[in-house]
Every structure is written in structure tokens, then in C-alpha cells.
Structure 1
């Protein structure tokens, strides 16, 4: 009897230790496993409201310097789409209404969610925001970025320089050094990066763009400054003179074949590859 009690007393701690190790290993697996080795995932998004939101596969596989076949390393995720229309998207008469722009952002958000499910991206690593940038004949949709900051990795991009100007303003107004509160990984910055890949010689501010962002399925204003310690996208969009669509406006259905004269082309701009072929701009 005593032997059995001693044995039981020893075996239970060992079993508990084993279970803890197992649960830790399982939790690590759940939070890192995904599949990006078989190309683009088909998640059945077609029709007159389909925006073509896709994972930037090349960015996820290779940036900044990672093994494309390693399915455990924490990747850098961005989801995006590029739409070109026959008419001007910001035209007051025949363009895309603010309410429709909100619906487009929400539709893009839902497509992103489905795409993340298709790739098996762990919930802790998933993008939670989708931004639509409207200008000229185009819409650029871009998610918030997960992973190492692309915006602060390269210091010579137009977006990095705009963030630096915001930082100078913060230093002047508050006397403190600061960077973007989300490290420049919000949808607003990512959409601006994509814009300059296809329009490198034309300032975004000259386009008089509009922007709308969905976070967690809800209409959301650009992130705000944090008591002067860090600045947010509210400062960034002001730097570019971007009009923020009123978050109090309701959603309104849209048809890609009807808004802004009808859609002309749907494609993707890749962050670390070649410019989108739907653009006539040179590299």
C-alpha cells in the first residue's frame, strides 16, 4: 500500500509535466502552422461584388529573408487587390458613393477573412483591418500588415518619408521622439505603398483620394495619436491630404459593373515583385 501511494505520488507529477509539455507544443503548432507552398488558395469569391482580395504570396514567402518552405516561421502577411474603372471613382455624379465605399471595404474585409481561413493562418497572426483607397479611376484595397514593419524597414520610400515628416511634427509639438503607434503597419500605409509602386512619379496627395477602413467588421476612423507619445494614421492621412470617409455613414450595396462606369480590370499589386500590369506607369 505504501509502495502504491509513493508510486502514485511520483507518477502524477511526471504525468502533469508531460501534459504541460504536450499542451505547450500543441499550442505552438496551432499558432504557427499554415500552408503557403501550394500556390494561391481558391476560396470561391466570384461575381459582381467580388473584389479579388488575395494574399500577397511572394511577400509572405520571401520577405524579408525567410525560407519559402518553412511552415513554422512567423510570416509577414498582407492581403490586397487593385481595381480599375472606366470612370472616375470620386466623381460626385457618377463615381462611387461614400456608403458604397464602406460596403466595398467590408466586402474586402470578408474576402480577407475567407482567404486567411483558406491558408490556415493562425488567428493570432491574422490581419484585422482592410482599407480601401479611392483615387482617379482606381481602388486599392490593402489589409493591415502582420509581422516585421515593412514601412520602417525601408527608409527611402515615399511612405517612410511621410512617416518621418509626421515624426518631425510630433517632435516639434511634444518635444519627444516617436514612431507610428502600429509601426506603420495599418491598411492606410500599406495602401499608400501599393499606390507608389504603380504611380512612382505622382504624389498621392495630388490625387485627392478618399479612404475608408474596416477593423473587426466595423467602420473605423484612422487610428489616433496616443497623448503625444506616438502618432497614428490620423496624422498620416493629414500629411497626404486624404479625405477620410465619415464612419457614421451606412453601408450601401454596389455592383462592380455599374459603379464608376463599370470595372475595367481587377488584379493585384505585389509589394516585393513587379508593379501591377493593370497600370500604365513605368517602373
Structure 2
């Protein structure tokens, strides 16, 4: 009887390795199956921690990186590529960001719209009274007579100016078109009326209960001034204009021009001191 050899033929290749691993009682694993597990089984001492362990030379450059791309100079710096700095924002981008931040205006535009309606319709009402005689007004001829008896040197020109300021400026205020000019026109017109009434009787004439009281004129002048300084808002035909939501130094220019126009018009067409009896003006 022939004795069989205890030596079994060894298998060659990957299959043999797998069989050998299974025979040892360990499952067949691969670094691609569970790299985290493989890293845990690695001795911490074997993990590379320095450039020398990785086989890197601090003087070597990364392919494709240069001093111009990295912004570094000198032989001691690493040649790693860096993220280029962000370019400066353009003026259009800054404006767009501001508009996005200003998107929530609450009820501001609605309030400005109501203010324009009240002031604009008030001037339209008085302008139609003088031009057409509606609403128990004097009409065109009656307005000329009123201006002449009130001391205006050129009643026809004075009548045309006051009607244009009240009616034209009031309509433009209501629709919100060319708002700075419209508000400036009604401001100059109401300032002329204020100076006219104030100069009739010595003393400060503010009480609305008297024919020469300037209380209503003062309120309308303040409202027109507020519209110039705040802009018409987005509920207007000027909504795409800068002065609609962000009025700046141009508003002060309009205010100065309106006051100057009122003073010069009163001095040229009427004359006299409109501040008679107020403080030092006697």
C-alpha cells in the first residue's frame, strides 16, 4: 500500500491567496472594499506625517504651478497653486445690491402716494376754480380782477403763472411725473400766495380763520417740500428714476430754485415786503 504524501500541492495565483486567507479563518478583504477599515488596521506609526515620509522635497514645484500663478517668490516657499483673488465689484453690481436691500419698503410708497394725491388734488381744485370757474370759483376774468386789485402789476401774467403752477403742478404730482419740478412749481406758487397774504396786514397772519391767514398755505408748502426731499415713491411714473426712492443733493437744488423763483416773482410782479410785522421786519 502506497503512503500518500501529507504535502498538498500549492495553488498558484490570486485564487491560492484567497484560499489561504480563508483557511486561516479571516475573510477575504481588499483595500477597495473598506478603506476606512484598512486604515484602522494600519499601525499609526506607519502613517506618513512629514514631507520626508511622503518623499516630497520642499523645493520641488507642483507641475503647472509657477510663481506667477501662486503669487509667491523665493526658493523656500511651496509651489502649491492658490485661488486667485476675487475681482472688485462693478458700479452696476453695487447698485443692484443696494436695490435688493431696499426691496422691502413697507408702506412707504403707499404713504407717499397718498401725500401726492392730497396735495396734488388740492392744487388742481384751486387751479380749476381760477381757470374754469368750477367749484364756485372766480373763473379766468375774476382771477385777473382779483390779482389786479391785490396789487399785482401785470395781472394777466400773474394769472397765467398761478394757474400753470396750481393746475399743471397738481396734475404732475398726482401721476408722479417729473415730480421734483412739479413739487417745485407748486411750492413756488404757494409761497407767493403766502407772501401775498402775509403782506396785506402788519403782523404774523397765521390764523386760518382770517382772510389773510397763512395756516393752510404753510401746510401745503411743507407738504410740497416733503415730497421734494423724499421723492414720489414707486407708485409713480418716476419709479425708475433715482429721485423716486433715493433723492440726494438735487432735492436741495430744487428747493433753493423754488424759493428763489417765488421771491423774484413776488418782487417783480408785486413788490413790497412780504414779511411785514414779523419779528424785525416792520
Provide the TM-score with structure 2 as the length reference.
0.27
More strand by share: 1
Give 1 or 2: higher helix fraction. Answer: 2
Larger radius of gyration: 2
Normalised TM-score (structure 1): 0.27
